[in-house]
Copies of this chain bind each other. A is one copy, B any other.
Amino acid sequence: MARKSSADFPLRLDNQICFAVYSTAHAFNRVYKPLLDKLGLTYPQYLVMLVLWERDGVAVKDIGERLFLDSGTLTPLLKRLEAADLIKRTRSTEDERQVLIALTAKGESLREKARAVPQSILAASACSVGELVTMKNEIVALRDRLNAVLGE
Contact A25 B21 (CB under 8 A): yes
Stoichiometry (number of copies):
2
**Also in contact, A23 and B115, with CB within 8 A (given A129-B5, A136-B17):** no
Residue of B nearest to A129 (CB): B7
Which residues of the partner chain B approach A119 to less than 8 Å between Cβ atoms? 10
A61-100 vs B, CB cutoff 8 Å, 1 = contact: the mask equals: 0000011100000000000000000000000000000000
Chain A: how many interface residues by the 8 Å CB criterion? 61
Which residues of the partner chain B approach A53 to less than 8 Å between Cβ atoms? 11
**Also in contact, A10 and B115, with CB within 8 A (given A23-B68, A138-B135, A139-B17):** yes
A1-13 vs B, CB cutoff 8 Å, 1 = contact: the mask equals: 0000111001111
Which residues of the partner chain B approach A126 to less than 8 Å between Cβ atoms? 145, 148-149
Q: Select which of B21, B117, B135 is within 8 A of A28 by beta carbon.
A: B21
Q: Select which of B13, B127, B138, B145 is within 8 A of A47 by beta carbon.
A: B13
Which residues of the partner chain B approach A19 to less than 8 Å between Cβ atoms? 47, 50
